[in-house]
Amino acid sequence: MKFSYNWIHELVDGLDVPAAEIGRLITLKTAECEGVEAHGAMLDDVCVARVLTAEKVEGTHLTLTTVDTGRYGVKQVICGAPNCRAGMLTAYWPLGKKKVRGVESDGMLSSAVELGISNEGDGILEFWRRARDVHRWTPPRHHRRNRQQVAHPPARPVGPLRHGARSLRHHRAAAEGPR
């Protein structure tokens, strides 16, 4: 089970405690919190790229591409997705240079799953709209807004977590005491 800091912030009036502290309070007062993670932070580095060339790497399923990222310049990227082809617009993630099957790849063409914005995807993201200025793209507004901290309580919650948001709100308020 996961829930967001933003969700708890909406349920509890006057919440001014950082996400890491909420995780500690959950562990101390209700049930073990397995961790707090930033969700969606990597989208700051992602940009739209136009695939200029796409050539199959002989003897593999990989494609050697040249992509124009705008923000990061022209890059050579190895991609394993079946839908990668010249002319398409996709998401580029600058992860640094790495060797893939002996060929240098500078970054990654990403799927929605890899970017954490969807649980489904059978290839890299493909943007269907023809953008005049591809390089001014930013992540969709709802993805920028959803950058948040996510708490990880145990898989089988005990105590107030098993009773839902209302119980969590009351137990958290009791743990902090009167204001």
Write out 106-125 in H/E/C secondary structure.
EEEEECHHHHCCCCCCCCCC
pTM over 0.95: no
Q: What is the mean pLDDT of the chain?
A: 76
Average of per-residue pLDDT across 91-117: 89
Does residue 65 lie within any of the structural domains? yes
pLDDT at 52 over 80: yes
Do 152 and 106 lie in one domain? The reply is no
Note the pLDDT of residue 115: 83
What's the structural domain count of the chain? 2
- For residue 164, the enclosing domain spans 3-40+147-176
Do 51 and 127 lie in one domain? The reply is yes
% of the chain beyond a pLDDT of 70: 69
Do 84 and 164 lie in one domain? The reply is no
Do 75 and 126 lie in one domain? The reply is yes
Does residue 141 lie within any of the structural domains? no
Give the separation between CA 167 and CA 179, rounded to whole angstroms. Answer: 19
pLDDT at 116 over 50: yes
